[in-house]
């Protein structure tokens, strides 16, 4: 039977991916009340940036050829740039729009990015072999854990602590927290709105890029639709974590990952195809019990 | 002028002047994700059309084709179907996928017109899901699964199998259904475990954990999935050190995704014909060359072939019926028993407008190189009740 350690690592690794994606969404929601549904497309965009643009069936590595030390910052920068560009082109003009209008425009933006990828790269999924050696399993505490899973878990922890430090110790972090508390008041007190929002988008985009690198290393494929599922899970994580709460998004991301792995491990075979139905039933239950979210910040009350 | 137009409109149905040519309508995706699958098969269909035209045409007339973009959208598919009917189509070729092809096929069906799915492999793509004049050019998914079961048992001494089903589309369930029907019937063979996953799962770590906790690794793993999920599953299985022979349906054919798992070996795919230039039948390679001449590249997967086959079969039935009338052509198609084509014999019956057995080439990938290693026809057609079982 499956060992406890194995379950823990499987759950933590999946949860880590979800948590990182959820964090990207929560960051932007915190500063401008926008649920950015284009986030999944940022992920796909970063994955496709690894290969040469072409509609040929076989993919040729482009940026993906760069050594890891260069590639990681490069892709993170690309993610940040895409997110910042979308803020500059789309969301900056919608500061005064209602959250619903912004959400709809984020859907539209996602559509545009996805279709641009389709036009440039074609509809067929592509294979990308990025760092295949990271999938080699190693034995820890009786569990067989791919190196990548460990990296995911450690990266998530590092990102979360790094972000916490950034939010607590730096000026931009202070401004972001202030903006998340009460944006209008923060502006009146001299918080630089554009800097805060652009910064949040950059961080969010970089997180999407990190998710992209993990996904592509894990699965070895690039598909224009690959961001959709993870975006959905991440969005749900931000909701049950409490919209606007960064620690909440992270905790809920881990929670969903863990629940998904446990359901996969313990559901009887006939019920296993309906794993996600069970998972989302749990989400509904969680929302019924705590409609404001599991880890709700005080600031969320008047806004949501 | 108005009157003249009116008269012309009135005259059209009675006047065969328009029918100087036979028109085939293509309601296929020219944009959206399905385009990558529809275009190769539609191109293959047009290659066959050009060949027929070069040989003097059909019923003494040239075949011309018109097209409408379904945009990988169900509603657009219905619209495209109606548009082609208005455009004077005599027969309709619809998208590869049942869900996206059916709306156009239903439009054709309501006109009593023949429709052919480019490469749908679900039993619904035909009589069961559209109506009596609808056909598919491809081989049922269940046949692919059954072929894998019988071949691996006979040629690779597979006695224990693990079934890994990706529940995202009906096609995958079809492959597993065929495998589940055939494998336990074979001498000494047993399915030792099964599990499910979803194509877009970020990780299949828990499924792998379950396989690894088996007392003994299975001889074969029947992977019922499609790209990209299949590529991702294989990468994770191999990385985890699971070395069992991996069996698949035709949908993972093509070397374009092999980079996902470096140096992949022990991976087997049943196909209607080989795109790798090593098909034992010269007609298949001749087609590959014709395809390359037409598009500048060889087919990326064997899913181009059904497009060629369906035009070939339909044209033969039209010749025999002496008309393009849906019911008459259907009657001729249903008389076909092991009708020879470049890609092996094909059969249609009044119960099934699909192949429930077929000769398949077995392509094995060894050290990232795909090659035909064998050819196999299942000993018994997959029964209709197995196909229809939900």
- Residues 6 or more apart in contact with residue B112 via CB below 8 angstroms: B133, B325, B326, B327
Q: Which has the closest alpha carbon to B225: B249, B205, B261?
A: B249
Cα gap B25→B114, rounded to integer Å: 11
pTM over 0.90: no
- Positive or negative CA dihedral for B305, B307, B313, B319? negative
- A219 vs B: CB within 8 A: yes
Q: What is the pLDDT of residue A197?
A: 86
Lowest mean pLDDT among A60-74, A233-247, B350-364: A60-74
* Domain identity same for B322 and B371: no
Written as six digits, the tokens of B260 are: 């996902």
User: B259 and A273: CB-CB below 8 Å?
Assistant: no
Instruction: Give the Cα separation of A304 and A287 in Å (integer).
Output: 14
B324 within some domain: yes
Residues 153-172 of B with CB under 8 A from A: 165, 167
Gyration radius from chain A CA atoms: 19
By the 10 Å C-beta count (0-12 exposed, 13-18 middle, 19+ buried), B281 is classed as middle
Nearest CA of chain A to the CA of B303: how many Å? 13
Verify that B236 and B313 share a domain, yes or no: no
- Record: contact B210-A57, CB cut-off 8 A: no
Same-domain status, B64 and B181: no
Same domain assignment for residues B18 and B114 = yes
Q: Range with the lowest mean pLDDT among A226-230, B145-149, B284-288, B343-347?
A: A226-230
**Where is pLDDT greater, at A79 or A273?**
A79
Ramachandran angles phi, psi of B346, nearest 5°: -130, 145
A125 at interface of B, judged by CB pairs closer than 8 A: yes
Q: Do A118 and B261 touch (CB under 8 A)?
A: no
Q: Chain B within 8 Å of A116 (Cβ-Cβ)?
A: no
Q: Which residue of B has its CA nearest to A211?
A: B202
- Contacts with A149 from chain B: Cβ below 8 Å: 205
Per the structure, how many domains does chain B have? 2
The answer to which of A45-59, A108-122, A210-224, B255-269 has the lowest mean pLDDT is A45-59
Phi-psi region of B325 (alpha: psi -120 to 50; beta: other; left: phi over 0): beta
Which residue in B has a C-alpha nearest to residue A122's C-alpha? B36
* pLDDT on residue B104: 92
Q: What is the pLDDT of residues B77-136, one digit of tens each?
A: 999 999 999 999 999 999 988 888 999 999 999 999 999 999 888 888 889 889 999 999
Strand order in the sheet with B190-197: B190-197, B160-166, B220-224, B245-247, B267-271, B359-366, B369-377
- For the ranges A285-294, B79-88, B307-316, the lowest mean pLDDT is seen at A285-294
**Residue B113: its pLDDT value, please?**
92
State the angle between helix axes of A147-169 and A246-266 in degrees (0 to 180), rounded to the nearest 10: 160
pLDDT tens-digit readout, A109-155: 998 998 888 888 877 788 887 887 777 777 777 777 778 888 888 88
Determine whether the interchain pair B202/A59 forms a contact, defined as Cβ–Cβ distance below 8 Å. Answer: no
> Once rounded to an integer, what is the mean pLDDT over residues B308-317?
92
CA distance B199 to B251: 13
| Confidence grade of residue B349 (pLDDT, cut at 50, 70, 90) | very high
Tell me the β-bridge partners of B117: B94, B136
Task: Specify if B351 maps to a domain.
Answer: no
Are the C-beta atoms of residues B93 and B67 closer than 8 Å to each other?
Answer: no
Distances (CA, A) of B343 to B137, B234, B268, B270, B308: 11, 28, 19, 13, 9
DSSP per residue, A130-166 = --GGGG-EEEETTEEEEHHHHHHHHHHHHHHHHHHHH
Range with lowest mean pLDDT among A28-42, B90-104, B310-324:
A28-42
Bigger pLDDT: A298 vs A290:
A290
Give me the interface pTM, i.e. the ipTM: 0.71
| B318-345: burial string, b at 16+ Cβ within 10 Å, e else | beebeebbbebbbebbbebeebebbbbe
pLDDT at A85 (0 to 100)? 92
**Lowest mean pLDDT across A105-114, A287-296, B47-56, B235-244:** A287-296
Q: How confident is the model at residue B10 (pLDDT cuts 50, 70, 90)?
A: very low
Say whether B261 and A132 touch across the interface (CB within 8 A).
yes
In the numeric block, the tokens 């949501």 are attached to: A304
Distance from CA of B272 to the nearest CA of A (A): 20
Q: Which of residues B74 and A5 earns the better pLDDT score?
A: B74
* Cα B165 from Cα B185, distance rounded (Å): 20
> For residues B351 and B127, is the Cβ–Cβ distance under 8 A?
yes
CATH of the domain at B15: 3.40.50.2300
Residue range(s) defining the domain that contains residue B99: 2-139+283-334
* Residue matched to tokens 């014909």: B273
Considering B318, B334, B350, which residue would you say is the last residue of a domain? B334
Kindly list the domain boundaries of chain A, sorted by start residue.
4-226
Q: Which A positions 260-289 lie with beta carbon below 8 A of chain B? A: 261, 264-265, 269, 272-273, 275-276
The Cα–Cα gap between B151 and B153 comes to: 5
DSSP state of B383: P
Domain match, B306 and B365 both: no
Q: How far is A18 from chain B (nearest CA, A)?
A: 9
Same domain flag for B178 and B195? yes
Average pLDDT of chain A to the nearest whole number: 83
pLDDT value for B262 = 78
Q: Does A226 contact B210 at a Cβ distance shorter than 8 Å?
A: no
B230 and B123 in a single domain? The answer is no
Q: Helices in chain A by DSSP H: which ranges?
A: 4-32, 39-48, 68-89, 99-121, 147-169, 171-181, 183-188, 193-219, 226-241, 246-266, 275-289, 300-303
Q: Is A283 within 8 Å of A290 (Cβ atoms)?
A: no
Phi-psi group of A267: left, alpha or beta (phi > 0 → left; psi -120 to 50 → alpha; rest → beta)? beta
d(CA A212, nearest CA chain B) in Å? 11
Given the structure tokens 């230039």, which residue do they identify? B277
Hey, is the C-beta of B235 within 8 angstroms of any chain A C-beta?
yes
C-alpha Rg value of chain B to the nearest Å:
22
The answer to whether the beta carbons of residues B248 and B176 sit under 8 Å apart is no
For residues B364-374, average pLDDT: 89
Same domain, B293 and B264: no
3-state secondary structure of A98: coil
Are residues B200 and B228 both part of a single domain? yes
Cα dist. B242→B52, B194, B216, B222, B363 in Å? 49, 15, 11, 13, 20
Of B35, B196, B212, the CB nearest to A273: B196
Q: Could you tell me the pLDDT band of residue A297, with boundaries at 50, 70 and 90?
A: low
| 8 Å CB contact of B206 and A225 | no
- The share of chain A scoring above pLDDT 70, in percent, equals 93
B104 and B88 assigned to the same domain: yes
My answer on whether B85 and B168 are in the same domain is no
- Same domain (yes/no): B377, B238: yes
- pLDDT at position B9: 44
């Amino acid at each position: 039977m499956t060992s406890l350690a194995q379950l823990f690592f499987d759950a933590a690794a999946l949860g880590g991916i979800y948590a990182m994606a959820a964090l990207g969404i929560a960051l932007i929601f915190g500063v401008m009340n926008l649920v950015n549904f284009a986030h999944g497309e940022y992920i796909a965009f970063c994955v496709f940036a690894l290969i040469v643009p072409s509609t040929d069936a076989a993919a040729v590595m482009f940026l993906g050829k760069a050594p890891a030390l260069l590639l990681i910052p490069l892709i993170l920068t690309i993610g940040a740039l895409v997110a910042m560009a979308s803020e500059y082109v789309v969301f900056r003009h919608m500061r005064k729009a209602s959250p619903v209008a912004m959400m709809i425009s984020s859907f539209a933006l996602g559509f545009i990015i996805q279709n641009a990828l389709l036009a440039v790269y074609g509809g067929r999924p592509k294979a990308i072999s990025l760092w295949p050696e990271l999938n080699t399993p190693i034995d820890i505490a009786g569990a067989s854990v791919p190196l990548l899973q460990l990296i995911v878990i450690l990266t998530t922890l590092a990102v979360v602590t790094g972000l916490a430090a950034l939010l607590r110790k730096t000026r931009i972090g202070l401004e972001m927290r202030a903006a998340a508390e009460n944006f209008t008041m923060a502006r009146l007190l001299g918080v630089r709105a554009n800097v805060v929002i652009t910064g949040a988008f950059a961080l969010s985009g970089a997180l999407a890029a990190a998710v992209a690198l993990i996904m592509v290393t894990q699965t070895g494929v690039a598909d224009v639709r690959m961001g959709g599922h993870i975006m959905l899970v991440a969005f749900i994580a931000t909701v049950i974590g409490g919209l606007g709460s960064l620690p909440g998004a992270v905790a809920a991301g881990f929670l969903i990952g863990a629940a998904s792995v446990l359901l996969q491990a313990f559901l009887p075979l006939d019920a296993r195809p309906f794993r996600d139905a069970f998972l989302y039933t749990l989400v509904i239950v969680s929302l019924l019990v705590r409609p404001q979210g599991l880890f709700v910040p005080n600031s969320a009350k008047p806004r949501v | 002028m108005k009157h003249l137009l009116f008269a012309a409109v009135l005259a059209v149905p009675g006047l065969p002047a328009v029918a100087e040519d036979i028109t085939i309508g293509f309601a296929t995706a020219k944009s959206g994700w399905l385009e990558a699958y529809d275009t190769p098969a539609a191109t293959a269909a047009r290659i066959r059309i050009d060949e027929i035209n070069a040989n003097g045409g059909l019923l003494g007339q040239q075949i011309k084709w018109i097209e409408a973009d379904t945009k990988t959208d169900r509603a657009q598919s219905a619209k495209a179907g109606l548009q082609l009917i208005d455009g004077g189509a005599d027969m309709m070729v619809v998208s590869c996928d049942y869900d996206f092809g059916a709306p156009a096929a239903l439009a054709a069906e309501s006109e009593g017109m023949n429709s052919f799915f480019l490469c749908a492999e679900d039993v619904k793509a035909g009589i069961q899901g559209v109506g009596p004049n609808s056909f598919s050019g491809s081989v049922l998914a269940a046949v692919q699964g059954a072929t894998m079961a019988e071949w691996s048992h006979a040629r690779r001494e597979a006695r224990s199998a693990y079934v890994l089903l990706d529940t995202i589309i009906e096609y995958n369930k079809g492959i597993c259904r065929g495998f589940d029907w055939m494998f336990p019937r074979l001498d000494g063979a047993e399915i030792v475990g099964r599990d499910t996953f979803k194509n877009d799962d970020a990780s299949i770590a828990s499924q792998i954990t379950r396989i690894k906790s088996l007392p003994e690794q299975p001889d074969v793993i029947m992977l019922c999935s499609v790209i990209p999920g299949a590529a991702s599953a294989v990468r994770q299985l191999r990385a985890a050190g699971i070395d069992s022979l991996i069996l698949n349906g035709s949908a993972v054919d093509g070397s374009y995704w092999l980079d996902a798992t470096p140096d992949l070996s022990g991976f087997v795919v049943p196909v209607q014909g080989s795109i790798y230039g090593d098909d034992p039948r010269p007609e298949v390679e001749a087609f590959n060359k014709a395809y390359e001449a037409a598009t500048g590249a060889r087919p990326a997967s064997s899913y181009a072939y059904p497009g060629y086959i369906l035009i070939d079969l339909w044209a033969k039935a039209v010749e025999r019926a002496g008309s393009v009338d849906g019911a008459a052509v259907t009657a001729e198609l249903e008389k076909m028993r092991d009708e020879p084509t470049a890609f092996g014999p094909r059969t249609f019956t009044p119960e099934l407008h699909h192949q429930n057995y077929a000769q398949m080439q077995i392509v094995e990938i060894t050290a990232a190189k795909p090659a035909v290693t064998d050819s196999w026809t299942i000993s018994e057609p997959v029964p209709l009740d197995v196909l229809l079982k939900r």
